[in-house]
Amino acid sequence: MSNNLKEHKLGPIFLLVLSGVLWGTSFPAISFGLQYSSPEAFLLMRFLFAAIISTLLFPKAAKKALKRKELVFIGSLNGIAYLFQFIGQQWVPAGQSALLVNSYSVLVPFIAYFMVKEKITYQKIFGAIIGLIGVVLITNEGGEGIVQAETKTEYYLGVLLVFGAGFVWAFYVVYTKLLETGQKKEQSKNDEEFSAEDILVASMYYTVIIAFMSLIFTGQNIFSSINIISISVAIYLAVFCSILPLIMYLHSLKKVDAGLSTIILLIEVVVSFLISTLFLGENIVLKQIIGGVLVITGVLIAMRETSKQLEQEQDS
């Protein structure tokens, strides 16, 4: 196998893993930022910064994001998912939130089968099962997060909302793959395919709109949530947990199918839990260490399957 082929195979995998690591830092960062801001205002600040930066980086994509209904839809999915996560994470610790969000990896291979005709292999199923067992063990003990529910009702509402975010993202992942590969049935032959930058900018724009609408609906004053800490965390999330990982993820999705990508991204849970343990006071036990090993195992299985897939594509 040539060096060029090896680089072609490892490149998308490396970008996916790096995206997962950066996204993993977002859960404890959100829990920390929610101490100083309401969920809706914090969400608006994060994606307002991200929208401004992405517009400066990709001005052509910004124009398309405002015109194409497909981009309106994909951006709205992103906004709804993040709104659910931010509100729910007021009451659910960061480690558990990472588990609940990443539970979408179970749904993606099956949704992808019906929407983009991706094959469901035994390796995908086995890797998903191993990885999900791992994330369940990691967060099974719970943990004391910085932001906690005062009642069981708040906690279970938070769990439902964060899990709902993962459910919405399952459709986001598959629909993103569908747009990028030009497989949308109603798309005419004359329509240009959507680039990673188009989807990135649309995701930023329509999340801002949804966050702003939620502020109006709840009657909040955003200025009451603006302070140096909330702004600093929002900027970090905008750059290192929104723009950079999403653009890497979207480019990788052109070479790696949706089901495998979600298994690789289970690394988010490990990163989130490690940071939460070190800085947010969540305890770690032997069961959770074993869970981390299982997550890594699931990721390695997915990487092996991805390598085979890309090698077949090169040989064909």
Per-residue confidence band for 308, with pLDDT thresholds at 50, 70 and 90: low
Q: Which residue has the higher pLDDT, 311 or 169?
A: 169
174 pLDDT higher than 80: yes
> With helix as H, strand as E and coil as C, how does 56-68 read?
HHCHHHHHHHCCC
244 pLDDT higher than 80: yes
Residue 207 · residue 47 · CB < 8 Å: yes
Q: Which domain holds residue 270?
A: 8-184+192-315
Distance CA 173, CA 108 (A): 7
Per-residue confidence band for 29, with pLDDT thresholds at 50, 70 and 90: very high
3-state SS assignment for residue 270: helix
Residue 275 · residue 241 · CB < 8 Å: no
Residue 104 covered by a domain = yes
Per-residue confidence band for 301, with pLDDT thresholds at 50, 70 and 90: confident
Residue 2 covered by a domain = no
Residue 255 · residue 22 · CB < 8 Å: no
| Backbone CA torsion sign across 164, 166, 167, 171 | positive
Instruction: Indicate the pTM of the whole model.
Output: 0.81
**What is the domain count for the chain?**
1
315 pLDDT higher than 80: no
Task: Please report the pLDDT score of residue 146 as a whole number.
Answer: 47
Percentage of the chain exceeding pLDDT 90: 36
Residue 3 covered by a domain = no
Distance CA 40, CA 149 (A): 17
3 pLDDT higher than 70: no
Residue 1 covered by a domain = no
126 pLDDT higher than 90: no
In degrees, rounded to 5, the angle at the alpha carbon of residue 285 between the alpha carbons of residues 281 and 290 is 125
Task: Please report the pLDDT score of residue 8 as a whole number.
Answer: 46
H helices of 34-183, in order, are 39-57, 59-65, 69-88, 94-102, 104-115, 122-139, 152-180
Per-residue confidence band for 234, with pLDDT thresholds at 50, 70 and 90: very high
Q: What is the pLDDT of residues 60-110, one digit of tens each?
A: 999 899 889 999 999 999 999 999 999 999 988 888 888 888 877 777 777
Task: Please report the pLDDT score of residue 1 as a whole number.
Answer: 41
Cα pseudo-dihedral 284, 23, 184, 64, rounded to 10: 160
33 pLDDT higher than 70: yes
Task: Please report the pLDDT score of residue 313 as a whole number.
Answer: 54
Q: What is the pLDDT of residues 47-57, one digit of tens each?
A: 999 999 999 99
* Mean pLDDT within 161-180: 86
Task: Please report the pLDDT score of residue 254 as a whole number.
Answer: 75
- Read off the tokens for 156: 């279970």
Task: Please report the pLDDT score of residue 2 as a whole number.
Answer: 42
Distances 135 to 8, 27, 109, 267 between C-alpha atoms, Å: 30, 14, 18, 9
